[in-house]
Structure 1
Amino acid sequence: MMNLTNTLSKNWSMLFIRGLIATVLGVITWFAPEASLNILLLFFAGYFLFDGLLRTWVAWSSKQHNPYWRWLLIGGVLSFIAGAVTLFAPNVTAILLLYYVAAWAITIGAVEILVAIKLRAEITGEWFLIITGVISVVFGLYLVFNPSAGIHTLLWLVATYAVVFGTLIMGFSLKLKKLATHVN
């Protein structure tokens, strides 16, 4: 029978890599926040523009046999508009990104707390995941209720969050690695 502990412990290295990447990105953002923001916004703009062009092309080329081609076209136009706004009004995108990050952090935090509660019946030391979840929810709520803090503050907070989150996930993965060696 496969339980959650076995599944996670067999994949402990993926969790470790996830934590390491978060930590590295956090440290880079601490030392180069303006560059991190510009790169992130350019990435979003490029993705939105490419997505818009691709959707528009697919819609246009399939309009003869696809009754939903108009929906594809609307999606393409909206993606293209999002890309243009990101390029020409990056402050708007930065604020929207703030709310996106907030929603992501709250959702991920809630999921991690629920998984930790489930793990509580199977292992001890699930507090790494509970703390990670609580920090995620608190971070997300802080962003929602303090949007005027500014995008640079957000970058500093995201960097700090990434380092703390990454470190805790790496700690949790090492606990899972110990469990994996005892199971095998």
Structure 2
Amino acid sequence: MNLTSTLSKNWSLLLVRGILAVLFGVITWFAPEASLQLILLIFAGYFLVDGILRVWVAINSKNVNPFWGLLLVAGLLSIIAAIVTLTAPNITALLLLYYVAAWAIAIGAVEILLAQKLRHEISNEWILVLSGVISILFGGYLIVNPGAGIITLLWLVATYAVIFGSLAIGLALKLKTLQHTIDETQNN
């Protein structure tokens, strides 16, 4: 099974991902402060649950796990990250800015590499290349301009999400057509 077959069989997942990205972007445009608070609350909740579970597993595996101490430290660090997120949201927002920047650059690079692999299998792979380039430019902008403000970041994230989501929807629809062609070929 080649990459095109795999992607085209899962076109609906890409479509859902694109729609969710567009919805997130539109909601963030209209309510950036609420979006930031929600994102920070989700991070704090995740860090707290992760930390508690790690501490619990470390304590329960103390007698059989020679690395239980490292697991305990990781759990405590997650709990501290939750507390910092809740008590010093500005620090967390800045760290989140750098995290989003690194994520966007990494995703962009992967998308460009994926487009190179698809170049010989589909036409118009430029959609994926464009998505990758936009991701890298977005990540680079965040790194170069951290003082732009978190609300500006949220508006940029929202714009990025809408553009990325729209491109994902376009690619999903192209893959749907391709899957239909593959299915017809296999049925004949």
For normalisation by structure 2, the TM-score amounts to 0.95
Deviation per CA, 1:120-152, whole angstroms, max 9, x where unpaired? 111111111111000000000000111011111
Aligned residue in 2 for 1:39: 38
Q: Does 2:134 align with 1:135?
A: yes
Matches within 5 A, 1:93-172: 93-172=92-171
| CA–CA distance in structure 1, aligned partners of residues 124 and 13 of structure 2 | 19
Task: Please state whether the residue corresponding to 1:63 is helix, strand or coil.
Answer: coil
| CA–CA distance in structure 1, aligned partners of residues 180 and 145 of structure 2 | 45
| CA–CA distance in structure 1, aligned partners of residues 82 and 46 of structure 2 | 7
Deviation per CA, 1:57-102, whole angstroms, max 9, x where unpaired? 2112221222111011100110011000000000000000000000
| CA–CA distance in structure 1, aligned partners of residues 55 and 118 of structure 2 | 46
| CA–CA distance in structure 2, aligned partners of residues 71 and 142 of structure 1 | 36
% identical aligned pairs: 67
Aligned residue in 1 for 2:83: 84
The one-letter amino acid paired with 1:119 is: L
| CA–CA distance in structure 2, aligned partners of residues 117 and 57 of structure 1 | 45
How far residue 23 of structure 1 moved from its aligned partner, in angstroms, is 0.4
For normalisation by structure 1, the TM-score amounts to 0.97
| CA–CA distance in structure 2, aligned partners of residues 53 and 183 of structure 1 | 48
The one-letter amino acid paired with 2:182 is: V
The one-letter amino acid paired with 1:5 is: T
How far residue 54 of structure 1 moved from its aligned partner, in angstroms, is 1.4
| CA–CA distance in structure 2, aligned partners of residues 5 and 64 of structure 1 | 49
Q: Stretches of 4+ moved more than 2 A in 1?
A: none
The one-letter amino acid paired with 2:92 is: T
| CA–CA distance in structure 2, aligned partners of residues 63 and 12 of structure 1 | 45
Aligned length: 183
| CA–CA distance in structure 1, aligned partners of residues 50 and 119 of structure 2 | 42
**Pairwise CA RMSD of aligned residues?**
0.8
| CA–CA distance in structure 2, aligned partners of residues 50 and 25 of structure 1 | 24
Gaps of 5+ in 1: none
| CA–CA distance in structure 1, aligned partners of residues 173 and 124 of structure 2 | 11
Deviation per CA, 1:29-72, whole angstroms, max 9, x where unpaired? 00110000001101111111111111112112221222111011
